[in-house]
Amino acid sequence: MRWSARLGRRRILPFAWLFLAGCAWAQSHSGALPRFEDYPVTDFFTREPVAPKLVTPQDQSYAEQLRDGVENGYGVFRDGKEQKGPNFAGNLIVIQWGCGAPCLRMAVVDARTGEVHYPPVSFEGVGKPSFDLPLLAPDQSVGQNPEVQFRLNSSLMVIRATPNSNQSGHASYTFYFQWKANGWTLLRKVPFTR
């Protein structure tokens, strides 16, 4: 009797694992989009931010914007107004500045270390090292500045943009990125139309 009970458990165990794996896959591939509250941050930097480390030639080209953002809060938006200090993921300072109409640049500076990071998507695409954000031109409309959303208490950043908009047949997307382990992770990319 004991032998047959063990054999029965051994036959059921692989099916149980398959069932659980299937449930996990279905949950991760469901239609639910990432939400800010799904990526909470509980560690907040409250001291004086470290000056930005201007390492690359591109960092040095925008030294004034980076320093003004970190030291004075210029281009650092939190609660709808410019404010000094972190405004994303607890310790990061997202700095935005214009470069024409329409044109928007963005940098992310770690308030603890002064490290400067590029945004997760640029004019050339995801992960390309540039401060130039892509325009938003859904359905090949006239381009406008991208829509960027983030919060101090979340590691999620949402960007609606049209990378590679200089190419014909370009598509617009809503990108969901997570700031994790000192870098960006693309969580989801959803086609966007108005």
The structural domains of the chain, with segments of one domain joined by +, span: 37-191
Beta strands at 81-82 and 77-78: parallel, antiparallel or unpaired? antiparallel
> Which conformational region is residue 193 in: left (phi greater than 0), alpha (psi within -120 to 50 degrees), or beta?
beta
Lowest pLDDT segment from 20-34, 162-176, 179-193: 20-34
**If pLDDT is split at 50, 70 and 90, which confidence band does 167 have?**
low
Upper half-sphere CA count for residue 169 (Cβ side, 13 Å): 0
pLDDT at 13: 40
pLDDT at 91: 98
On the question of a cis peptide bond just before residue 102, with omega within 30 degrees of 0, the verdict is yes
Structure tokens, 19:
């069932």
Beta strands at 173-180 and 116-117: parallel, antiparallel or unpaired? unpaired
Please give the share of the chain, as a percent, with pLDDT higher than 90.
Answer: 68
Q: What is the rounded average pLDDT of the residues 105-117? A: 98
Q: What is the rounded average pLDDT of the residues 45-51? A: 97
Instruction: Please indicate, yes or no, whether the overall pTM of this predicted structure exceeds 0.85.
Output: no
Q: What is the rounded average pLDDT of the residues 173-182? A: 96
d(CA 134, CA 145): 8
Does 143 or 158 have the greater pLDDT score? 158
